[in-house]
């Protein structure tokens, strides 16, 4: 894995915020008996024996619809489904004491409200200070026997960008991890983001359908590919919440979970996120550049020095009880303050040709 392929917001080379993918295949008629881990290693790019063993032990490898043991030998016409994270092994997670905003916790899972500026898990350039460093310390205080072998990635099944704030769910058991990973893959998890974007959006609501993948030249950026010739399928539904003339407050609902999806999709339709330094939102995009307006915008940039994006709600089915859970995290101070400033600004100058 090379540094140029690292996502600077997450420290990984994945282009998926949903860390688990589904691999489906049928064994050929002439296949000789072979241990399933060896068979899958030859057919899934990036798979390692360690990752496959973790997936099998967690019940995330199904053969003909049933869980199997690690010594299972495949047979001709076996139908295999693998739910697993096949990205390269991560750096060891070193427990670190830190303050965590735990919104909910029980024996199966925990929901955390992540602050902006915190990377979710260790990777190149981000070995300490990540959310998982804090979670590992917190969990090991409860149970000193917990290790990454016992709880892979400490139950992480999805992530959000370093400079995006909001809600994340982590599993505390293999069963919970398997159940939640499948919900994310099946797109049944309810996720609503709030974003402040540049421009007065033409429609009150809409859907952006365009593959998201790495930029073909600038590999640290992601790009929208509406023809589907690169990247992976990505669908974002949006709805206008409030208009401020030069910027718009929108609600975004993810149908898929690609890295930087909302940021890329909003840029693609001409409305980059306010203060997003990766996708052109950290300069004046709409409005005449004159001294007082520029000063106002610069003040807003100073207050919210990251993309104005917050993972506000998260809903899913509890893996043990079957109950539908729903959580909401209020807007953090930086975004809320900037919204108030734009609201006040638009009310003052609204009748002056905005």
Question: Which of the listed CATH numbers 3.40.190.10, 1.20.810.10, 3.30.2350.10, 3.40.640.10 matches domain 102-186?
Answer: 3.30.2350.10
Q: Alpha carbon of 184 to those of 5, 34, 158, 222, 310: distances in Å?
A: 24, 31, 8, 21, 19
Note the pLDDT of residue 238. 98
12 and 87 Cβ atoms separated by less than 8 Å: yes
Per the residue annotation, which of 78, 85, 161, 276 is the catalytic one? 161
Residue range 239-295, pLDDT digits in tens: 999 999 999 999 999 988 888 999 999 999 999 999 999 999 999 999 887 889 999
Asked if the model's pLDDT at residue 116 lies above 80, the reply is yes
Note the pLDDT of residue 27. 92
* Identical fold between 102-186 and 191-349: yes
Reported pTM: 0.82
From 97-101, 137-141, 287-291, 299-303, the region with the lowest mean pLDDT: 287-291
10 and 121 Cβ atoms separated by less than 8 Å: yes
Asked if the model's pLDDT at residue 235 lies above 80, the reply is yes
Distance between start and end Cα atoms, the chain: 48
Q: Report the CATH number of the 20-84 domain.
A: 3.10.290.10
Asked if the model's pLDDT at residue 135 lies above 70, the reply is yes
Q: What percent of the chain has pLDDT over 70?
A: 87
Half-sphere exposure of 134 (CA within 13 A, CB side): 17
Sign of CA dihedral 242, 248, 251, 253: positive
Note the pLDDT of residue 20. 64
pLDDT band at 124 (very low <50, low <70, confident <90, very high): low
161 part of the active site: yes
Nearest to 249 by CA among 237, 261, 239: 239
Which range of 181-195, 276-290, 325-339 scores highest in mean pLDDT? It is: 325-339
Instruction: Specify whether domain 191-349 bears CATH 3.30.230.10.
Output: no
Sequence spans of domains, the chain: 20-84, 102-186, 191-349
- Listed in sequence order, the residues at least 6 apart from 234 whose beta carbon sits closer than 8 Å to its beta carbon are 208, 209, 210, 211, 212, 224, 256, 258, 261, 264, 265
Note the pLDDT of residue 112. 97
pLDDT band at 328 (very low <50, low <70, confident <90, very high): very high
């Amino acid at each position: 894995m090379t540094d140029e392929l690292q996502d600077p917001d997450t420290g990984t080379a994945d282009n998926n915020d949903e860390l688990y993918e589904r691999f489906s295949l049928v064994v050929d008629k002439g296949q000789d008996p072979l241990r399933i881990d060896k068979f899958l290693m030859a057919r899934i790019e990036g798979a390692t024996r360690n990752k496959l063993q973790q997936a099998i032990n967690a019940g995330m490898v199904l053969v003909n619809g049933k869980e199997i043991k690690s010594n299972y030998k495949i047979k001709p016409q076996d139908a295999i489904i693998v739910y697993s994270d096949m990205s390269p092994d991560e750096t060891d997670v070193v427990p670190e004491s830190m303050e965590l905003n735990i919104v909910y916790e029980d024996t199966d899972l925990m929901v955390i409200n992540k602050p902006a500026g915190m990377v979710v898990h260790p990777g190149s350039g981000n070995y300490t200070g990540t959310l998982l460093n804090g979670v590992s310390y917190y969990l090991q205080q409860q149970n000193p026997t917990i290790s990454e072998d016992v709880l892979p990635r400490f139950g992480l099944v999805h992530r959000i960008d370093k400079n995006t704030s909001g809600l994340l769910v982590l599993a505390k058991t293999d069963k919970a991890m398997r159940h939640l990973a499948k919900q994310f893959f099946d797109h049944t998890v309810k996720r609503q983001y709030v974003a402040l974007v540049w421009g007065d959006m033409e429609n009150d609501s809409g859907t952006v359908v365009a593959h998201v993948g790495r930029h073909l030249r600038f590999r640290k950026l992601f790009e929208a590919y509406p023809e589907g010739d690169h990247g992976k399928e990505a669908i974002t539904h949006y709805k206008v919440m409030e208009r401020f003339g030069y910027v718009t407050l929108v609600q975004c609902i993810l149908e898929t979970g690609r890295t930087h999806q909302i940021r890329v999709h909003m840029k693609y339709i001409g409305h980059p996120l306010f203060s997003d330094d990766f996708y052109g939102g950290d300069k004046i995009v709409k409005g005449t550049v004159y001294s007082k307006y520029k000063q106002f915008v610069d003040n807003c940039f100073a207050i919210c020095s990251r993309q104005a994006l917050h993972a506000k709600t998260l809903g899913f089915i509890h893996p043990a009880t079957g109950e539908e859970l729903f959580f909401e995290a209020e807007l953090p101070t930086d975004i809320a303050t900037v919204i108030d400033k734009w609201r006040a600004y638009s009310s003052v100058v609204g009748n002056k040709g905005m």
